Structure 1
Amino acid sequence: MKAMEKIFKSIDLFAGIGGIRLGFEKAFGSQIETVFVSEWDEFAQKTYKANFKDDFEIAGDITQIEENEVPEFDICLAGFPCQAFSLAGARKGFDDDYKGLCRGTLFLDVARICEKHTPKVIFCENVKGLVIHDKGRTLKIIKDTFTNLGYKVFTNQDTTLNSKNFGVPQNRERIYIVAFRDDIAPEKFEFPQGNDNTKKLCDIIEESSVSVKYYLSTTYLETLRRHKARHMAKGNGFGYEVRPLSGIAGAIVCGGMGRERNLIVDDRLTDFTPVTHIKGEVNREGIRKMTPREWARLQGFPDTYILPLADTHLYKQLGNSVTVPVISAIAEKIKEVLMNV
């Protein structure tokens, strides 16, 4: 088979809304084929299905999937849940129990599936807090697990990659793990650092005026200001933040919370009649939340990507997702290795 005819089969574990898959498909084009998807959240499944037309059903809880139920594959994509290792969370790591699931150990499901199928590459994404969690022991256990399975493990732990350098206006740092099977592993693997930090919020805001529902009420705005003032008086930095359109956003977070940390001023609204029940009236300063489509753009999702659900679900899903251009840039480097073996 000629190099250009190679087709790599991939599986998408903890798939979310398919951000990692999207990045790999952008890099590999027609040379990658997804053969299995696992995602336990029913709402994320709905968004995923709206955007990827597979001829198989999305599998649910990965802990309930036997290894032999997964078809053979070459590339494992796994954005295992970030909550267990997040700096914003309780940082319980391997002991973090949630709804009966031990999130901190879900990566072990990646390990057992890969032990059975011995793919060429395992790719994982997580929050930068993974590097320092439990004084580095958590990451060491993950790396050692893959090493013991016969993989050479590379991470960007010494140089956390930031989305703002990959053509999106978001300050988002993440850690990535790339494990190549020993028999095809390169001597070294260099993560891309990104070379486009030119994008600003003005580049991704909606082209026309948005619904009044995104604009804060005067009462809520005043509550945010008082809340921030109280925290500042105590020497804390917590509070809402209005981002200049000439700047970039802070990280949109797991779970979709904290939308008030990325407010913008948009003075295009002309009808201030509320469409939802609010206290007070719609503020006249033009202060509003960003829309889900704007969040999607912050993560580098193309405008062709369908956002089919209510805003609450979309904010959560996009906050939990990955920055597609970063994934694509890493996938390009992985492809270079695979095309030469």
Structure 2
Amino acid sequence: MYKENTDINNFIEEPQISLDFEAKRDVQPIQETYKVVSLFSGCGGLDLGFCGNFVFKERYYNKNKFEIVFSNDIDPAAEYVYNSNYEFFNHKLSCNDIKNIDVNLIPQFDVLLAGFPCQPFSNAGLRKGINDERGSLFEECEKILLHAVQSDHKPKAFIFENVKGIMSSKMADGTSIPDEIVKRTEKLGFKTSYKLLKTSNYGVPSNRHRLIIVGIREDFGYFDYNLLDNIVANYNLPNETSNPYELYLGSAICDIPINAPQSNDYWKYSPGGQYMVDKIGPCIDGKDALEKFKAKTPLSKISPTISKGKSWKSMNPDDMSERFRKIWDNPKKYHAPNFYRRFALGEINGTITASAQPENCGITHPFENRRFTIREIARIQSFPDDFQFPYKSIAHAYKVIGNAVPPVFAWVIAQALTKHLENE
């Protein structure tokens, strides 16, 4: 694996745990499968969930009835990661601009997956929405659906995924983007609906909000989103409501195997970012508390401060730059932003953004003054420990993980979709 030289220091001592990853995988094929075309696939989080057959936090997520027959993304960094994990997909990603792909060359499919670019709609971006050329890329999905509908093999379903911000993005006539997608795809013969979901309710140790748009071929009826909750209950998956312990940051990162790829690699902060993190200081509970999570000690027996996180507001105002001091002095004017969020071991971590900047997301380790390692954010995103993130620039690894759909969340969606299509 080619990667740049990185100064690796100050990382947490790794737990002495090793897993025989291959022994945990089911190699038996499922005979009846749904063919899947995946667009804007990124490093494969959504695809992995639909394939299934992986282990996350010692829990096996069984093989699903979906087979990826075509996947595409324009990002070479995503291609590098996706194709380095061939054993999960049994398929390689094509790196190309979706606009340059001849629809006649896309195989017949039963299900279309697409996480078209979220930056035009994201609160962490410039929010140009439909005015950003990437904001209209859902029309490429529409084009491929139209071509498939007009063939002899009409797809059974599609799943689109995007950020919460897309709900307030408008077309030129004022229609919201999700409502426009509903209108257009229902003309193609799909029953289309959408719902804003939080991944921590579906087995993922991250409070990540995502809009899921599901279109079902009209003879199957509208998708029942209650099926997602049924899957969580049937498999006893951790969730905020009934059993959140496995979702806490301490539980997520306490037992990363020593042989997990990229377990020690982390991206150093800029001098200014490092200054802020140092001045904010670590959360109260540190290494000893992390060991208690490893031992599965009940949260009530760890510490009353285990859920007390930090941010720039924890700094001494005298240590702040002029910019931050202005915000500190007039929080109402600036809507009291919570920059440099540092989640504690007893909290559920927030969204990890593609930029992985400490000012915009909770990317800082709770008691080591550094970014999370690549492996730690992979855990927060629910990737299995044997899923590799090779990189040529370490920023690229953070980007593709931050852009990904959490695989466990995708697995729940895949299970629910199967039940809906098979009328269970």
- The interval holding the TM-score normalised by the smaller chain is 0.7 to 0.9
What stretches of structure 1 of length at least 5 have no aligned partner?
97-101, 267-285
Contact 2:111 2:157 in 1 (8 A): yes
1:170-223 CA-partner distances (Å, limit 9, x unpaired): 111110011011123357453524552312111122647957975897645349
Alignment of 1:1-341 (within 5 A): 5-26=31-52, 29=63, 31-52=65-86, 54=90, 58-96=94-132, 102-118=133-149, 119-134=155-170, 137-156=176-195, 160-186=196-222, 188-190=224-226, 192-193=228-229, 196-197=239-240, 198=244, 199-205=247-253, 207=255, 210=264, 219=275, 221-222=278-279, 225=315, 226-227=320-321, 228-235=324-331, 236=334, 237-258=337-358, 261-262=361-362, 263-266=364-367, 286-309=368-391, 310-340=393-423
Alpha-carbon distance in structure 2 between the residues aligned to 1:205 and 1:6: 37
Alpha-carbon distance in structure 1 between the residues aligned to 2:417 and 2:266: 44
Read off the aligned partner of 2:253 and give its amino acid letter: I
Alpha-carbon distance in structure 2 between the residues aligned to 1:334 and 1:110: 19
Alpha-carbon deviation of 1:76? 0.5
Q: Secondary structure at the match of 1:12?
A: strand
Tell me whether 322-331 or 298-307 shows the greater mean CA deviation: 322-331
Q: Secondary structure at the match of 1:170?
A: coil
Contact 1:86 1:130 in 2 (8 A): yes
Q: Which residue number corresponds to residue 287 of structure 2?
A: none
CA gap of 1:215–1:241, structure 2 versus 1, over 3 A, is: same
Aligned residues: 311
Alpha-carbon distance in structure 2 between the residues aligned to 1:12 and 1:46: 16
Tell me whether 35-44 or 238-247 shows the greater mean CA deviation: 238-247
Alpha-carbon distance in structure 1 between the residues aligned to 2:186 and 2:266: 53
Alpha-carbon distance in structure 1 between the residues aligned to 2:50 and 2:254: 27
Contact 1:256 1:320 in 2 (8 A): no
Length-normalised TM-score, structure 2? 0.67
Contact 1:85 1:92 in 2 (8 A): yes
Structure 1: 4+ residue segments shifted above 6 A: 215-218
Read off the aligned partner of 1:10 and give its amino acid letter: V
Alpha-carbon distance in structure 2 between the residues aligned to 1:169 and 1:229: 33
What stretches of structure 2 of length at least 5 have no aligned partner?
1-29, 53-60, 150-154, 233-237, 281-311
Read off the aligned partner of 2:181 and give its amino acid letter: I
Contact 1:9 1:34 in 2 (8 A): yes
Backbone CA RMSD of aligned residues:
2.8
Alpha-carbon deviation of 1:6? 2.3
CA gap of 1:265–1:31, structure 2 versus 1, over 3 A, is: closer
Alpha-carbon distance in structure 1 between the residues aligned to 2:199 and 2:181: 24
Q: Secondary structure at the match of 1:183?
A: helix
The percentage of counterpart residues that share the same residue type is: 31
Alpha-carbon distance in structure 2 between the residues aligned to 1:70 and 1:211: 37
CA gap of 1:52–1:259, structure 2 versus 1, over 3 A, is: farther
Contact 2:192 2:214 in 1 (8 A): yes
Q: Secondary structure at the match of 1:171?
A: coil
CA gap of 1:136–1:302, structure 2 versus 1, over 3 A, is: farther
Alpha-carbon distance in structure 2 between the residues aligned to 1:240 and 1:189: 34
CA gap of 1:333–1:30, structure 2 versus 1, over 3 A, is: closer
Tell me whether 257-266 or 323-332 shows the greater mean CA deviation: 257-266
Alpha-carbon distance in structure 2 between the residues aligned to 1:113 and 1:35: 14
CA gap of 1:7–1:330, structure 2 versus 1, over 3 A, is: same
Contact 1:169 1:247 in 2 (8 A): no
Alpha-carbon distance in structure 2 between the residues aligned to 1:247 and 1:292: 20
Q: Secondary structure at the match of 1:178?
A: strand
Alpha-carbon deviation of 1:300? 0.7
Contact 1:146 1:179 in 2 (8 A): yes
Q: Secondary structure at the match of 1:114?
A: helix
Length-normalised TM-score, structure 1? 0.82
Read off the aligned partner of 1:33 and give its amino acid letter: E
Read off the aligned partner of 1:179 and give its amino acid letter: G
